[in-house]
């Protein structure tokens, strides 16, 4: 679990790396797309559950599940799923 901070180096940039994939799944282009907080789950790699401030025409949040494979696989991060219509108060949970 964690909020974004300088100590979150292993997470930094993962949300940006998959922005185009998230926009495709949502059918929107976001003028603002900023990670707010995240939780992580270690599997054969890492699942990041990320709360993102994602703005197209309104102001809102989405939750994005990003899978980052183990480094030796050399696989890029990928989007497992996206939950739309979230608020800043919505807790990040497994999905």
Give the chain's domains with CATH numbers: 2-86 (3.10.450.10)
CA–CA distances in Å: residue 76 to residues 20, 21, 52? 13, 12, 19
Percent of the chain with pLDDT over 70: 85
Q: What is the pLDDT of residues 69-95, one digit of tens each?
A: 999 999 999 999 999 999 989 998 888
Furthest C-alpha separation in the chain? 40
pLDDT digit string, tens, across residues 3-23: 444 446 667 777 888 999 999
Tokens standing for 15? Answer: 């949300």
- 64 contacts 50 by C-beta, under 8 angstroms: yes
pTM, rounded to two decimals: 0.82
The answer, yes or no, to whether residue 42 has pLDDT greater than 60, is yes
For residue 54, the model assigns a pLDDT of 87
Q: Which tokens belong to 12?
A: 């930094």
């Amino acid at each position: 679990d964690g909020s974004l901070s300088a100590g979150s180096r292993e997470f930094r940039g993962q949300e940006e790396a998959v922005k185009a994939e998230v926009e495709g799944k949502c059918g929107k282009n976001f003028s603002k797309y900023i990670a707010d907080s995240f939780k992580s789950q270690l599997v054969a790699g890492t699942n990041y559950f990320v709360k993102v401030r994602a703005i197209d025409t309104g102001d809102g949040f989405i939750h994005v599940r990003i899978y980052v494979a183990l480094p030796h696989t050399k696989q890029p991060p990928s989007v497992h799923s996206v939950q739309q219509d979230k608020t800043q108060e919505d807790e990040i949970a497994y999905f």
